[in-house]
Structure 1
Amino acid sequence: MSFTLVSDFHGRQYRVGENATDLTGRSRAWMLRASLAAMAAAGLLQYGLAAALPALARGNGWSSTDVLCVLGLWVAGQAGVAAPATALYRRAGTRLLFPAAVLCAAGLATPAHTGSLTLVLLGYSVLGGLGAGLVYVVCIGVATEWFPERIAGVTGAVSGAFGYGAVPFVAVVYVVDAGPILFDVAAVLVAVVVTGAALVVRRPPERWWPAGIDPRLWALDRRLNRSIPANAPAIRSYRPADAWRSGMLPLMWALVGVIAAMALFDLGYLAVSGSTAAIGVLALATGLARVVTGRLSDRLGRRRMLMAALLLGGLAQFGLLAGGEPGPVALSAAVAGVGTGAGYSLLVGLVRDWFGDEATLVNYGLVYTGKAVGGVVGLLLVAASSPARGEIVAVVVVGALGVLGACAAGLLRRPGRPALRLPGR
């Protein structure tokens, strides 16, 4: 099928004239559905296992420190693989989902067949973390490439599935103790869903643009592109080294670390305290928040909403001091989930807006690795949050991180924008 390369007034190039059905045999709606399903399955390894960890700890005689180690190593693997996975995605494409399906299944099946902490760390934390990280990168990549005209909304929906997809598993764990059969069934389902997605999703050609939308008008007409007034486009395309030197990519990396510290503090705190229902509320809230804020940020501005999300997530931490009261704790988990969940999806759009289309996934992969560091910090603070070690101090530290992160987000500026000079200076 023939195509044409056109440029808008920003100098960005688009490949126009081909539709998804002609390129892949399926509409791009199929690409979105498959990505949503795979992300929902992979999210079970984070929120679903966190809900099941108290039962595993009781059955295997693990301490709260052991539980936090299992979660911490998983987070380090899931987020730490993001940068190298983006490079693999550019070469292997969506075929990465095949090994990801095996790794995710191995991660879920491990707790079903061994109580050894070492083997669970190897199987669930390392293998499962790497598998979930690969799914995350591939699905975000597919979303950004097939929906370039509405990246914020679509990536918000796809990344949101990582949260709310685990809710059914959490609900089952809430009713019955997590046993070997439950883990084996979950492992099979996740393997089937992720493998099925691998058979469906494909990448479009580089710089592909959907037929029927004039990219030159889209770059100018706010009736077509509702994000124009609130989200300025990149002045030029920034490769990772250039983006890092701008100073804005390191700041975004640090902000992801702050978001992850809050999110994993909440998850670890609830897991150690055995608040299964609150974990389900947290997962649902973080997932739905990404869907909603991704769309809202087109109108309200991504930087402004990121500041609000960090502030909300920080203030919500103080609700955890309600102790064993299930209602206030669940409400705090919901509010915290909204703040921390929104931050991840907002940063995908912000990276694309400020650093250009050509390296969106690579740049975001670097930013996302901040979760590995921040998540471990958050879990270390959980370890220090027992009543004997100063629970109030740990909660205050995490809450303060969110507030300071909101202030730091106010320093974000589009790279390359010329500084204004007063006359005579």
Structure 2
Amino acid sequence: MAETSLLDRSRTIAGPGYNRWLIPPAALAIHLAIGQAYAFSVFNKPLGSLISGDPANPAPDDWTPGQIGWTFSIAIVLLGLSAAVFGKWLERVGPRKAMMAASLCFGGGFLIGSLGVHLHSLALLYLGYGVVGGIGLGIGYISPVSTLIKWFPDRKGVATGMAIMGFGGGAMIGSPLAVALMDHFKGSAPQGVAPTFIVMGIIYLLFMQFGVWTIRVPADDWAPEGYVPSTEHDAMITTANVSADNAIKTPQFWLLWVVLLTNVTAGIGVLETASPLIQNTFSDAAMGAGRGVTAAAAAGFVGLLSLFNLLGRFFWSSASDKLGRKTTYAIYFILGIILYAFIPTLGAGLQLTLYVVAACIIISMYGGGFATAPAYLSDLFGKYQVGAIHGRLLTAWSTAGVLGPLIVHTLSEHAKEQNLAGAAAYQNVFYTMAGVLVVGLLANLAVRPVKEQYHEKGPVTIEAGGH
């Protein structure tokens, strides 16, 4: 019982004089680990050639790209669902217990997945990395967020941006780590995948312990020195509190759900097709023999997008502390609409540099949308159960994870049927995503302060997270 009590909320309350800047590194440790999910594609070819040993010539019993792709899709769907289901539990038990659960699920998902790879069981791979690992993703994603908002009421955007930046950058660690491990183990197991899963599961489980044991929550009456809550500069910021159950009854929650859905759907539209997109648009046929974008250069483009995804999470969410959340999202949508509508013209005109710049700005705002969302929720609904509300909002991400690729795949297939090539093959994708962003802009413009009827009556204990 003594060991269990170390995970209890009461053991994580910070004493007087605690330095709140120790909290972002704890949150970052969790997000850098679970951000590995963005690097899952490095396993696609090895998983598709476990029997044949040759990605170029798969055996009849090898898994297809479509079958393997479902692993990531399941993980993202479970991220949103588990964040929604476990959000109120997280608020009740505190971030340490939630982070421990996330580390066990995420690390354990790799271990179960390794068994699936070893036995060549697709069901076990789905169960491990997809379901169990996906639950770890969801709990891990939201576990530090409400704690950061409570420590940084004066800099909510900066604080959440620092943590969620880690999720965007997790692939920059996870991808080379996986490649190096598979190369090391390829002599002892098919493509080296199963032992790589085991080692990565253990590494991430241990790495996440830094966050588990260093996280602290502020005392109920704590506030930054000199901090005075003020709503004068932004009518969207409330000093009241709304419970998670009441939040989903408000139009504001569903407007923000649409805001996140549209921003993510459009961003995934670029991320999903980044490599073939730039190779096909700026091919040798279009640019001239030997001048087209090579596969290696396209990989560099994907890496650049990952960097802007990471940087955008911190830059835009920090800027939202000054600009206001509603204004920041308006920038995402208005600038996004212009860039999406203009990109086909840049492609047709073979303006490679401007094309890359536009794509990088788009992806920075895609990342920024994720990082700004928790602060926007806290502005509207207060700190009381913001982690649980954020968890429910992330179902928009799960939906976008299916909707974005579906739109891109459908429109790309239609372009193939019409024998369109180069920039023309993708123009309808970009015009459609510009239309999607128009919907998001209108939803954001409709956001108003939450009506008093939804506010909690009387004082609430912020850290208790429930009645």
Aligned to 2:97: 95
Aligned to 1:106: 108
Count of residues in correspondence between the two structures: 388
What CA distance in whole angstroms lies between the structure 2 residues aligned with 1:315 and 1:67?
Answer: 35
Q: Pick from 196, 201, 223: which aligns with 2:215?
A: 201
1:17-96 aligned within 5 A: 22=15, 27-45=19-37, 47-57=38-48, 59=55, 61-93=62-94, 94-96=96-98
Distance 1:400 1:154, change over 3 A: same
Aligned to 1:6: none
Matched, 1:375 2:401: yes
Report % sequence identity. Answer: 21
Distance 1:121 1:326, change over 3 A: farther
Distance 1:316 1:49, change over 3 A: farther
Deviations 1:54-98, CA, capped at 9 Å, x for gaps? 553454744443344222211111112112222111222221222
Matched, 1:283 2:306: yes
1:228-377 aligned within 5 A: 229-230=233-234, 232-234=236-238, 236-270=240-274, 276-314=299-337, 316=339, 319=343, 331=357, 333-377=359-403
Q: Pick from 178, 190, 205: which aligns with 1:191?
A: 205
Letter in 2 for 1:100: A
What CA distance in whole angstroms lies between the structure 2 residues aligned with 1:308 and 1:51?
Answer: 33
Distance 1:92 1:277, change over 3 A: farther
Letter in 2 for 1:48: A
Other structure's SS at 1:336 match? helix
CA contact (8 A) 1:281 1:333 kept: no
Decide which structure has the larger Cα Rg and report it.
2
Question: What's the C-alpha RMSD, in Å, of the aligned pairs?
Answer: 3.5
What CA distance in whole angstroms lies between the structure 2 residues aligned with 1:327 and 1:193?
Answer: 38
Distance 1:174 1:196, change over 3 A: closer
Deviations 1:227-267, CA, capped at 9 Å, x for gaps? 85246421632223443333111110111111222233333
Deviation of the 1:164 alpha carbon: 1.5
Deviation of the 1:363 alpha carbon: 2.2
Aligned to 2:174: 169
What CA distance in whole angstroms lies between the structure 2 residues aligned with 1:374 and 1:130?
Answer: 18
Deviation of the 1:125 alpha carbon: 1.4
Deviations 1:196-235, CA, capped at 9 Å, x for gaps? 211221323345323x32x4xx224xxxxxx852464216
What CA distance in whole angstroms lies between the structure 2 residues aligned with 1:313 and 1:85?
Answer: 33
- Return the TM-score normalized by structure 1: 0.79
Mark the runs of 5 or more structure 2 residues left unpaired by the alignment: 1-11, 50-54, 184-191, 278-294, 419-424, 454-467
Deviation of the 1:276 alpha carbon: 4.4
Deviation of the 1:389 alpha carbon: 5.9
CA contact (8 A) 2:79 2:138 kept: yes
Deviation of the 1:110 alpha carbon: 5.4
Distance 1:228 1:125, change over 3 A: farther
Q: Pick from 401, 405, 415: which aligns with 2:436?
A: 401
Other structure's SS at 1:250 match? helix
What CA distance in whole angstroms lies between the structure 2 residues aligned with 1:54 and 1:231?
Answer: 51
What CA distance in whole angstroms lies between the structure 2 residues aligned with 1:326 and 1:80?
Answer: 39
More moved, 123-132 vs 103-112:
103-112
Other structure's SS at 2:273 match? helix
Letter in 1 for 2:222: W
Distance 1:188 1:280, change over 3 A: farther
Mark the runs of 5 or more structure 1 residues left unpaired by the alignment: 1-18, 221-226, 419-425
- Return the TM-score normalized by structure 2: 0.72
Aligned to 1:140: 145
Deviation of the 1:337 alpha carbon: 1.7
Letter in 2 for 1:28: R
More moved, 282-291 vs 32-41:
282-291
Deviation of the 1:344 alpha carbon: 1.8
CA contact (8 A) 2:182 2:196 kept: no
